[in-house]
Amino acid sequence: MSERHHHMTELAAATAVTVDLPRPEYPRPDRDRSARWLSLHGTWSLDTPGGAVPITVPFAWETAASGVERTWLERATYRRTVAVPAAWAGARVVLCFGAVHHRARVLVDDVEVGTHVGGHDSFELDVTDVVHPGEESTLEVEVDAPADKRSIPHGKQRSIPRDDYDGVSFRPTSGIWQPVWLEARGRTYAAQVRLRGESLAGFEVDGVLVGDAPAGADVVAQLATGERVALVADAHGRFAGRLDVTDPRPWSPADPYLYEVEVTVGEGRSADRVVVTGGLRRIETRGEQLFLNGERFYVRGVLDQGYWPVTGLTAPDDAALVRDLEIAARAGYNLVRKHLKLEEPRWLHHADRLGMLVWAEPPGPSRFSDAAHAAFVAQLAPMVERDGNHPSLVVWGLYNEEWGLDWDIPGSPERAAAAASAYDALRALDDTRPIVENSGWAHVRTDLVDWHYYDEDPQAWADNVAGLADGSRDDFPVRLGPDFVVDKSLYGSSEFPRRGVPVLNSEYGAGFTSLERAWSMRWQTQELRRHDRFAGYVYTELADVEHEMAGLVDADRRAKDGGGLDPAHVNADTVLVLDVVPRHAGADVPVPDGDWRLGAHVSHHGTAPVAGRVRAAWAPAGTRFGEPVAAVAAESEALKAEPFVLSPAVTLEVPAPGDVSAARLLVWFEDESGATIARTFVDAGPLEPPNRRGARV
């Protein structure tokens, strides 16, 4: 038996047991060609140095879901048979890959049809000339996935040798890890379609045609409501025009209205049709403020690393993508920062339709070289082409904390120039969104001055945040290792303006236990809201990942014990800011033995002022809002809060809670209609010093 015949027999047997395809949904609902497509998920054969094994696509070979669960495998070849449907005769056939880490060589019946480098980029190959509708072909994908990832974009995957930031890295992701499928297209088809709705009155439409006769081809872009524009491609197959919208309806988190634009190339049976989704949405900076569709807005974000316990970087199912967005929304967040990962288009489409804003950023290398920087920048064009139509995507990130720049922008003109050139490259590709060139610190060319700051000490946190807000300081301590603490500045250049660019936090959080995490979230977020200069914040993080236990939920997306805290109260449009420096979780203050004066402010981010009173009531420790409490113990004078301006302090004269060892003071703000629109609490308990008996001297 020949080796090829042996593989065909083995593949037929493997495919026969595949009943339910994993991830069966169409991968690109934002660029819909689902009328004629074929999923290639399921069981493939994987040739490894140890022999051929079955693997479940699209899960990385390190994951349990793949059936292989093999780490540090650097080379392998995927193989399966595929039959293009006979009904596709006469169409062009395109093979699409969501992502393959890191280098891929693709063959059909031993004929190379293309290669690709880049572990997070989507790519597609026109295989019309090598497949025959109604007949089987053998598809092979040869993959190289270097264990030494330091000079290639890899985000938070572990590397051998280790990365400088190995302590925050996770299991690698290798091979096919995003969807792979076939689809039929017209003889001349739209390979790219760009929709931009920044005018809020219509769409700028442009794209690129390929295939039989792109030069001079007729293109029509049309809405279901009848608005249309007819275009003609130029000699290079490029087309551009404007599609005006009657009675335009802007996209926003409050009203995530999406338009579907059908783009047709040519006529008759050979015509190409694709339905592209977009929204009328404008994001802009004005001085130190952010505006969405002309209205000021404030980022209330959460960092999401997009890992799952069994499936790694690949979502186990479509519901998991939706669930993570819903967890963020229920916690009061209006933005998700997808960290060092280009998440699959279905997640972005769900963010579009659910109204969740997105901060997107590609993976980076971990060591600096000209080649590493070039590989990083090479991702940007396919990133913008794939994801740029999504109205939910409002911020592009680039480098993170000087990873891939050797943590040395301030000391290296060459590395500073690399960060600036990445900004310039992305700005040339997309001039419609703010860009952050180096998230966290050491900014040299950016539209947002963002900062990452972790601190366990409430007083130090409050003092340093206040200094960053008023400009009296522009640096803060950063622990890069157990014995490696440096002072990092917001600025990597003396020439960068200290005023006039929006300033916002994009990573914070503290505490080891879930109670401590919730406690720190409550008090640290209130200090961010105390300072009107800031344009927002991003809390770390949505879900636990492997050894990181900082999530709102655990790795399986189960709720944690937050001591009665509802994150939605912390992240609301309107919140209370109390003049308290808390001592520790469970005992923000000692139990008062007499009257206690409590200062309170209101931070309100609505579109109109709110007025009302702050009220407070003592309750047993751990009481949640909504549970029965005793009568109101204290009430403030009337106050009015203007949008985006911290209100003046009001004072509550709070009586002692009585003879108790611990209690919770529930504090809320009622507007003039009697509705409660802000909630927080203060825990009173004994402040016992830690027991240090037996410590080594």
One DSSP character per residue, 16-83 reads HT--SPSS-S-S-TTEE-TTSEEE--EEEEEEETTEEEEEEETS-TTSGGGT---SS--EEEEEEEEE
Task: Report d(CA 326, CA 328) in Å as an integer.
Answer: 5
Task: Report d(CA 622, CA 353) in Å as an integer.
Answer: 37
Band of residue 17 on the pLDDT scale cut at 50, 70, 90: very low
Contacts for 2 with CB less than 8 Å, ≥ 6 apart: none
Q: 259-317, pLDDT tens digit by residue? A: 999 999 999 989 999 999 999 999 999 999 999 999 999 999 999 999 999 999 999 99
pLDDT value of position 178: 98
Band of residue 508 on the pLDDT scale cut at 50, 70, 90: very high
Band of residue 690 on the pLDDT scale cut at 50, 70, 90: confident
Report whether 46 contacts 70 (CB < 8 A).
no
Q: Return the structure tokens found at 596.
A: 């206690």
Task: Report d(CA 192, CA 210) in Å as an integer.
Answer: 9
Task: Report d(CA 423, CA 428) in Å as an integer.
Answer: 9
pLDDT value of position 6: 40
Length of the chain: 697
Task: Report d(CA 246, CA 253) in Å as an integer.
Answer: 21
What percent of the chain has a predicted confidence (pLDDT) above 90? 93
Burial of 103: CB neighbours in 10 Å, binned 0-12, 13-18, 19+: middle
Inform me whether the pLDDT recorded for 2 exceeds 50: no
pLDDT value of position 13: 35
268: left (phi over 0), alpha (psi -120 to 50) or beta: left
Question: Is this prediction's pTM over 0.85?
Answer: yes
Q: 225-251, pLDDT tens digit by residue? A: 999 999 999 999 999 999 999 999 999
3-state secondary structure of 419: helix
Q: Which helix (H) or strand (E) holds 522?
A: helix 514-530
Q: Return the structure tokens found at 244.
A: 């005006």
Residue where the block lists tokens 């303006």? 497
Inform me whether the pLDDT recorded for 333 exceeds 90: yes
Comparing CA positions, the residue from 258, 251, 241 lying closest to residue 204 is: 241
Comparing CA positions, the residue from 546, 677, 570 lying closest to residue 302 is: 570
Task: Report d(CA 306, CA 390) in Å as an integer.
Answer: 18
pLDDT value of position 694: 87
**Domains of the chain (ranges, CATH numbers):** 3-185 (2.60.120.260), 199-280 (2.60.40.10), 284-571 (3.20.20.80), 577-684 (2.60.40.10)
Comparing CA positions, the residue from 474, 684, 469 lying closest to residue 587 is: 684
Inform me whether the pLDDT recorded for 387 exceeds 60: yes
Inform me whether the pLDDT recorded for 354 exceeds 90: yes
- Please give the single-letter amino acid code of residue 2: S
Q: Return the structure tokens found at 692.
A: 């240090």
Inform me whether the pLDDT recorded for 15 exceeds 80: no
pLDDT value of position 630: 79
Mean pLDDT, rounded, of the chain: 95
**Count of Cβ atoms closer than 10 Å to residue 193 Cβ:** 22
Report whether 610 contacts 574 (CB < 8 A).
yes
210: left (phi over 0), alpha (psi -120 to 50) or beta: beta
Task: Report d(CA 365, CA 371) in Å as an integer.
Answer: 10
Task: Report d(CA 446, CA 23) in Å as an integer.
Answer: 38
**Count of Cβ atoms closer than 10 Å to residue 46 Cβ:** 27
94-116: average pLDDT: 98
In degrees, rounded to 5, the angle at the alpha carbon of residue 679 between the alpha carbons of residues 675 and 684 is: 140
Contacts for 316 with CB less than 8 Å, ≥ 6 apart: 65, 308, 310
Band of residue 371 on the pLDDT scale cut at 50, 70, 90: very high
Cα 570 to Cα 506, 525, 603, 678, 681: the distances in Å are 16, 7, 11, 9, 10
Q: 607-659, pLDDT tens digit by residue? A: 999 999 999 999 999 999 999 887 899 999 999 999 999 999 999 999 999 99
Task: Report d(CA 251, CA 292) in Å as an integer.
Answer: 10
Inform me whether the pLDDT recorded for 562 exceeds 50: yes
Torsional sign, CA 28, 29, 32, 38: positive
At residue 404, φ and ψ (nearest 5 deg) are 85, -5
Inform me whether the pLDDT recorded for 533 exceeds 60: yes
Beta bridge partners of 239: 207
Greatest Cα pair distance in the chain: 92
Q: Return the structure tokens found at 423.
A: 């900004």
Comparing CA positions, the residue from 545, 547, 534 lying closest to residue 505 is: 534
Task: Report d(CA 444, CA 405) in Å as an integer.
Answer: 13
Q: Return the structure tokens found at 607.
A: 């579109």
pLDDT value of position 4: 39
Task: Report d(CA 467, CA 271) in Å as an integer.
Answer: 61
Q: Return the structure tokens found at 544.
A: 């636990």
Task: Report d(CA 257, CA 352) in Å as an integer.
Answer: 8
166-182: average pLDDT: 96
